[in-house]
Amino acid sequence: MEITFGPWTAEKTIKKDASEPLLAAMDDEARKVAKKTKDVEVREAPKGEVKAPGFSISGRLITLKSQGRVNSVVATFNVWVDGFMSNVATTEGRASAEGMGAEDALRAVVESKVRALLGMIQAGRVVRQG
């Protein structure tokens, strides 16, 4: 099964210099999960195409908070089929990391959510809406 990842985006309230490395980490972690998942191959998004064919997983960084030594993140994930929303509701992941950077917390969220979504796709439970 082939999967396309992205786009990875962030809320406008999160500064670009803070979000860019985190969005790159989201993509990197999703690809690592796919590489470890049997029968999954990452397909690059077609250039100039708004709607990628097949299955896609995208994510959005919603919240990034630092309070002392604790970094917290909230991200949402969607599954698309042929560029259309799927029957899988937007899923949210939250994590906090004490004494580590926000990237570590975000990677844990991405790993968990992407693994679960790939499992749903492989089980045949994801279909196109619309």
102-120 pLDDT tens trace: 999 999 999 999 999 999 9
pLDDT digits (tens, 9 = 90+) for 64-96: 998 999 999 999 999 999 989 999 999 999 999
Q: Is the pLDDT of residue 17 over 90?
A: yes
| DSSP tag of 62 | E
**Mind listing the pLDDT tens digit for each residue in 46-64?**
776 657 789 999 999 999 9
Residue 99's contacts (CB-CB under 8 Å, 6 or more residues apart) are 69
Please give the span between the terminal C-alpha atoms of the chain, in angstroms, as a whole number: 22
Picking from 91, 104, 73, 87, the residue whose alpha carbon sits closest to that of residue 11 is 73
Domain regions of the chain by residue span: 2-122
> Phi and psi (nearest 5°) for 106?
-65, -40
The CATH class of the 2-122 domain is alpha beta
Could you tell me the maximum CA-CA distance found in the chain, to the nearest angstrom?
Answer: 45
81 forms beta bridges with: 55, 84
- pLDDT for residue 49: 62
> pTM of the full predicted structure?
0.92
